[in-house]
Amino acid sequence: MASIALKTFVGLRQSTPENNAIVLSKPIATTTLPYRRLRVNASKSSPRVTGRNLRVAVVGGGPAGGAAAETLAKGGIETFLIERKLDNCKPCGGAIPLCMVGEFDLPLDIIDRRVTKMKMISPSNVAVDIGQTLKPHEYIGMVRREVLDAYLRDRASDAGATVINGLFLKMDLPQSKNAPYVLHYTDYNAKTGSAGEKKTMEVDAVIGADGANSRVAKGINAGDYDYAIAFQERIKISDEKMKYYENLAEMYVGEDVSPDFYGWVFPKCDHVAVGTGTVTHKGDIKKFQLATRLRARDKIEGGRIIRVEAHPIPEHPRPKRVLDRVALVGDAAGYVTKCSGEGIYFAAKSGRMCAEAIVEGSENGKRMVEESDLRVYLEKWDKTYWPTYKVLDILQKVFYRSNPAKEAFVEMCADEYVQKMTFDSYLYKRVVPGNPLEDLKLAVNTIGSLVRANALRKEMEKLSV
């Protein structure tokens, strides 16, 4: 990681060494040897913020924004959380891993359901049950986003953050070094009716947590990313059929359901969410949704569709995630994993990590922060979660490529070792090395499955000719 530290310094503004020169009189913990100044301790030489604490605005009140605002407020920073719709019922799978409950001290009543079984269904309807390796206390939590988001926001507010119900419009970048950012937003709090009142706010740093269509990202020209469209229908089915989904979620793979993703049936509080997604064939999403409903027909027959929703899912991080004193977190930064499309945990964790970096870099709000402090968050994030993202990317590339690959995928899921590794890495967000002998067996079995499935596919093509 030392190489990355060097790289980051290469990109830093030329003004940093000047800053060091100005405040040389202040006792610095490090020596004054030139190469030592290249370390991230540059923040310690930032000017003090006099008369007030550091002001930070968090734009967007989802899991990322809520977690960031709470950590900032607890760290003694004056925090403003701007959210446009406080009761937003977001279209989302709603799955959170077990570690999130512990790390974020979530109360257990937020979790509607505990999923302990999953069924993977291949293109030729081979069904495999996974979850036998789960211990009794392990589960995947299904939450309602409006409940989770509201809880995190309330906790931030209790910690001292100011929650503003408003719509972020645009942001004026500072013209001089330590000048504030000017945020323009429409405040819905005031009693001027639904139109809201245009206001401005001056802050020292901004955390962009406003999701896939982030305006903060546009404001700093962060660049675009490829995204998938996830389309979901909430279907209310009979209680009897609902019992099957008591603690079971289903995943359907196949070219009919999605060429590069999967279709799902996830249980929610009293209904199921049936959906699918795709990156490459967005125009055919309705067709894929019909195919998903067909595949699950026996189990959702007679249900009523109570809601139809769609949302974009980023496929990879934006080219720029930090600029000056603006940082992006969560979906705005593009922290959604491939293969599973998981984003809630990573949003909340990145929000918290970014806030921690700001708290540390500003010494609890006493000093101004710099881009280098925000890059500390990026470095820590990349180092901690890069293996997870890369492994999921490889899995997606290998197993979502074609129908034979998806058949092999489902066949592999029947193996107990695979299930154990999958759940361990999903629930606790760590890539465990595992037993090397078993890994070798797994590799051999994977190759075998792929070879067999592809061989069958070649024969199928001969049939159609």
Partner 1 sequence: MSMAIFSPKIPSLTPSPSQSHGKTHVSFKLYLPLRPTRKLRFDLLVSSDNGSGVAATIPDETPVSSEETVGSNGSPPPPLTAKDPVAEPVKLVGGESSFEDPRWVGGTWDLKQFAKDGKTDWDAVIDAEVKRRKWMEDNPQSSSNENPVVFDTSIIPWWAWMKRFHLPEAELLNGRAAMIGFFMAYFVDSLTGVGLVDQMSNFFCKTLLFVAVAGVLLIRKNEDIETIKKLLEETTFYDKQWQATWQDETPSSPGK
Residues that bind partner 1 (CB under 8 A): 4, 7-8, 10-12, 121, 123-127, 221, 223-226, 244, 252, 254-256, 291, 294-299, 316-322, 338, 378, 382, 386, 389-390, 393, 397, 403, 407, 411, 414, 445, 448-449, 451-453, 455-460, 463-464
Least CB distance from residue 340 to partner 1, whole Å?
15
Strand, coil or helix: 358: helix
Q: Closest CB to partner 1 among 58 and 251?
A: 251
User: What is the C-alpha to C-alpha distance for residues 248 and 231, in angstroms, rounded to an integer?
Assistant: 20
The answer to whether residues 296 and 272 touch, using CB atoms and an 8 Å cutoff, is no
Task: Report how far residue 326's alpha carbon sits from residue 324's, in angstroms, rounded to the nearest whole number.
Answer: 6
CB of residue 298 vs partner 1: minimum separation in angstroms?
4
Burial of 310 (0-12, 13-18, 19+ CB in 10 A): middle
For partner 1, the closer CB: 205 or 291: 291
Query: Looking at beta carbons only, is 123 or 341 nearer to partner 1?
Result: 123
Nearest to 98 by CA among 160, 52, 140: 140
CA distance 116 to 35: 53
Nearer to partner 1, 122 or 425 (CB): 122
CA distance 293 to 257: 9
Q: Residue 174 corresponds to which tokens in the numbers above? A: 């500072």
| Minimum distance, C-beta of residue 318 to partner 1, in the bound complex (Å) | 7
Query: CB of residue 451 vs partner 1: minimum separation in angstroms?
Result: 7
CB 413 within 8 A of CB 128: yes
Q: Which is nearer to partner 1, 4 or 23 (CB)?
A: 4
C-alpha of 279 from chain center = 17
State the Cα–Cα distance between residues 431 and 422, nearest whole angstrom: 9
Nearer to partner 1, 140 or 248 (CB): 248
Compute the distance between CA of residue 85 and CA of residue 157 in angstroms, rounded to an integer: 16
Among residues 403 and 422, whose Cβ is nearest to partner 1?
403
In whole angstroms, what is the distance from residue 69 CA to residue 53 CA? 15
Indicate the residue among 6 and 22 with the shorter CB distance to partner 1. Answer: 6
User: How do strand 322-323 and strand 326-328 relate by DSSP bridges?
Assistant: antiparallel
Count the neighbouring beta carbons within 10 Å of the beta carbon of residue 441: 13
Q: How far is the CB of 382 from partner 1 (least distance, A)?
A: 7
CB of 452 to partner 1, least distance (A): 5
- What's the min distance (Å) between Cβ of 74 and partner 1? 27
Q: Quick check: 341 and 279 in contact, CB under 8 A?
A: no
Q: How far apart are CA 66 and CA 166, in angstroms?
A: 15
Q: How far is the CB of 356 from partner 1 (least distance, A)?
A: 19
